[in-house]
Structure 1
Amino acid sequence: MQKSFFVLLAVISFLGAQAQSSLSGTISNAEDNTVMPYVEIYFPKLEKGGVTDLAGKFQINNLPSGEYKIIISYIGFETYSKTLQILDGPNQLSVILTPSAIEMEEVIVSTPFHQLQRENVMKVERADIANLKTKGAITLADGLSTIAGVSTVSTGVGIGKPVIRGLSSNRVLIYTQGVRLENQQFGDEHGLGVNDAGIESVEVIKGPASLLYGSDALGGVLYLNPEKFAVANETSGDVGLDYFSNTEGFRANAGFKSSGNKLKFLVRGSTTSHVDYKAGNGLRTTNSRFRENDLKTGIGYQATSFKTEVRYNYTESTLGIPETIGEQTKRRSPEMPYQKLNNHILSSKTKLFFEKSSLEATFGYIFNDRKEFEEHEHEDEHEGEDHLDEEGAALAMDLKTFNYNVQYHLPNWKNLETIVGVQGMHQTNENFGEEILIPNATTNDFGVLATSHLHFKNDSDLQFGLRYDLRSIVGEAHGIDGEDGYIADVSRDFNSFNVAAGYKLLLNKSIIGRLNLASGFRAPNLAELTSNGSHEGTNRYEIGNSELNNEQNVQTDLSFEYKGKHIELFANGFYNTINDYIFIEPNGEFIDGNAVFLYQQQDANLYGYELGFHLHPHPLDWLHIESSLESVTGKLSNNEYLPLIPANNLTNTLRVEFSDQSSSLQSYYAFVTLNSVFAQHKANTFETESDGYNLLNFGLGGSLFVGKQQIDLRISGNNILDKTYISHLSRLKTDGIANIGRNVNLGISIPL
Structure 2
Amino acid sequence: MKRTLIAALVGAASQAMAQVPESRVEHVLVTMPIHKKAAETALPVTVVTGEELRRLAASTLGETLGDKPGISNSSFGPGVGRPVIRGQAGPRTINLNNGIAAADVSSLSPDHAVSIEAMLAESIEVLRGPATMLYGGGAIGGVINTRDNRIPTDRIDGIQGAVEYRYDDAPEMNTGVLKLEGGAGDFAFHVSGTFRDFEDVSIPGLAIDEEAVEMQEELLGGEHDEDHEEEELENSDGFIANTNGDSDVFTLGGSYHFGEKNYVGLAYNSFETNYGIPPGAHGHEEHEGEEHEGEDHEEEEEEEEIIRIDLKQERYDTQLHLHDVVPGLIDTVRGFLTYTDYEHVELEGAEIGTQFSRETYEGRLELVREGDNHGVLGLQWRADEFEAVGEEAYVPKTDSSEWGVFYVQDFHTQDWQFEVGGRAEYVERDPATGFEEDFTSFSLSGSGLYNINSDWSLGASLSRAERAPSTEELFSNLNNSAEEFVTHAATGIIEVGDPNLDTEVSLNADLSLTYMSERAFAEITFFYNTFNDYIFLLNTGSEVDETPVYVYEQDDANFYGLEVESSFELATVAGGAVSLGVFGDMITGEFDSAGDVPRLPPMRVGSELSWRSDSLGVYLKVLNASDQDNPGDFETETDGYTRWDAGIDYSMQFAGNTELFAFLKLKNITDEEIRLSTSFLRNFAPQAGESVEAGVRLMF
**1:620-665 CA deviation, whole Å, 9 max, x = no partner?**
6611100112000000012611011100001110011112xxxxxx
Query: Contact between 1:629 and 1:648, CA under 8 Å: does it hold in 2?
Result: yes
Q: Secondary structure at the match of 2:39?
A: helix
1:275 aligns with 2:184: no
Match of 1:233 among 141, 149, 157: 157
**1:269-305 CA deviation, whole Å, 9 max, x = no partner?**
1110111111112521111222111011210111006
Q: Which residue of 2 aligns with 1:475?
A: 431
Q: Which residue of 1 aligns with 2:315?
A: 345
CA drift at 1:129: 6.8
1:197 aligns with 2:119: yes
Within 5 A, what are the aligned runs for 1:119-268? 119-128=40-49, 131-135=52-56, 137-184=58-105, 185-227=107-149, 229=152, 231-268=155-192
Q: Secondary structure at the match of 1:733?
A: coil
Moved more, 160-169 or 358-367: 358-367
Residues 138, 442 of structure 1: alpha-carbon distance in 2 compared, 3 angstrom cutoff: closer
Q: Which residue of 1 aligns with 2:368?
A: 409
- Partners in 2 of 1:253 and 1:410 — Cα distance? 38
Query: Contact between 1:209 and 1:518, CA under 8 Å: does it hold in 2?
Result: no
- Partners in 1 of 2:564 and 2:392 — Cα distance? 47
Q: Which amino acid aligns with 1:292?
A: S
CA drift at 1:619: 5.1
TM-score by length of 1: 0.79
Q: Secondary structure at the match of 2:670?
A: coil
- Partners in 2 of 1:136 and 1:303 — Cα distance? 34
Q: Which amino acid aligns with 1:710?
A: E
Query: Contact between 2:74 and 2:676, CA under 8 Å: does it hold in 1?
Result: no
Query: Contact between 1:501 and 1:516, CA under 8 Å: does it hold in 2?
Result: yes
- Partners in 2 of 1:349 and 1:326 — Cα distance? 53
User: Aligned residues, how many?
Assistant: 616
- Partners in 1 of 2:166 and 2:192 — Cα distance? 16
- Partners in 1 of 2:660 and 2:539 — Cα distance? 55
CA drift at 1:133: 4.3
- Partners in 1 of 2:169 and 2:342 — Cα distance? 32
TM-score by length of 2: 0.84
Unaligned stretches of 5+ residues in structure 1: 1-99, 378-387, 478-488, 660-666
Q: Which residue of 2 aligns with 1:683?
A: 631
Query: Contact between 1:198 and 1:296, CA under 8 Å: does it hold in 2?
Result: no
Q: Secondary structure at the match of 1:528?
A: helix
Q: Which residue of 2 aligns with 1:751?
A: 699
Q: Which residue of 1 aligns with 2:268?
A: 312
1:670 aligns with 2:618: yes
CA drift at 1:337: 1.0
Q: Secondary structure at the match of 1:738?
A: coil
CA drift at 1:706: 6.8
Q: Which residue of 1 aligns with 2:384?
A: 427
Query: Contact between 1:197 and 1:268, CA under 8 Å: does it hold in 2?
Result: no
CA drift at 1:435: 4.3
**1:367-415 CA deviation, whole Å, 9 max, x = no partner?**
11021122xx4xxxxxxxxxx35xxx22112101101111112465xx3
- Partners in 1 of 2:116 and 2:42 — Cα distance? 29
Match of 1:497 among 442, 452, 465: 442
Residues 176, 146 of structure 1: alpha-carbon distance in 2 compared, 3 angstrom cutoff: same
Residues 583, 268 of structure 1: alpha-carbon distance in 2 compared, 3 angstrom cutoff: same
Q: Which amino acid aligns with 2:457?
A: I
Q: Which amino acid aligns with 1:607?
A: Y
Q: Secondary structure at the match of 1:142?
A: helix
Q: Which residue of 1 aligns with 2:358?
A: 399
Query: Contact between 2:179 and 2:192, CA under 8 Å: does it hold in 1?
Result: yes
Residues 345, 459 of structure 1: alpha-carbon distance in 2 compared, 3 angstrom cutoff: farther
Residues 707, 175 of structure 1: alpha-carbon distance in 2 compared, 3 angstrom cutoff: closer
Unaligned stretches of 5+ residues in structure 2: 1-17, 206-236, 281-289, 478-485
Query: Contact between 1:275 and 1:331, CA under 8 Å: does it hold in 2?
Result: no
CA drift at 1:715: 0.5
1:287 aligns with 2:245: no
CA drift at 1:340: 1.0
**1:495-514 CA deviation, whole Å, 9 max, x = no partner?**
11111111111110001211
1:726 aligns with 2:644: no
- Partners in 2 of 1:241 and 1:516 — Cα distance? 43
Query: Contact between 1:397 and 1:432, CA under 8 Å: does it hold in 2?
Result: yes
Query: Contact between 2:392 and 2:489, CA under 8 Å: does it hold in 1?
Result: no
Structural RMSD (CA): 2.1
Query: Contact between 1:177 and 1:347, CA under 8 Å: does it hold in 2?
Result: no
- Partners in 2 of 1:121 and 1:738 — Cα distance? 37
Moved more, 188-197 or 295-304: 188-197
Q: Which residue of 2 aligns with 1:715?
A: 664
Match of 2:33 among 91, 112, 125: 112
Residues 273, 656 of structure 1: alpha-carbon distance in 2 compared, 3 angstrom cutoff: same
Query: Contact between 2:528 and 2:558, CA under 8 Å: does it hold in 1?
Result: yes
Q: Which amino acid aligns with 1:738?
A: P
Residues 569, 689 of structure 1: alpha-carbon distance in 2 compared, 3 angstrom cutoff: same
- Partners in 1 of 2:158 and 2:80 — Cα distance? 38
Match of 2:533 among 548, 556, 580: 580
Q: Secondary structure at the match of 2:537?
A: strand
Residues 597, 123 of structure 1: alpha-carbon distance in 2 compared, 3 angstrom cutoff: closer
1:535 aligns with 2:488: yes
Query: Contact between 1:286 and 1:326, CA under 8 Å: does it hold in 2?
Result: no
1:636 aligns with 2:591: yes
Query: Contact between 2:53 and 2:123, CA under 8 Å: does it hold in 1?
Result: no
Residues 425, 706 of structure 1: alpha-carbon distance in 2 compared, 3 angstrom cutoff: closer
Query: Contact between 1:657 and 1:670, CA under 8 Å: does it hold in 2?
Result: yes
Q: Which residue of 2 aligns with 1:464?
A: 420
Q: Which amino acid aligns with 2:441?
A: S
CA drift at 1:331: 4.9
Moved more, 128-137 or 568-577: 128-137
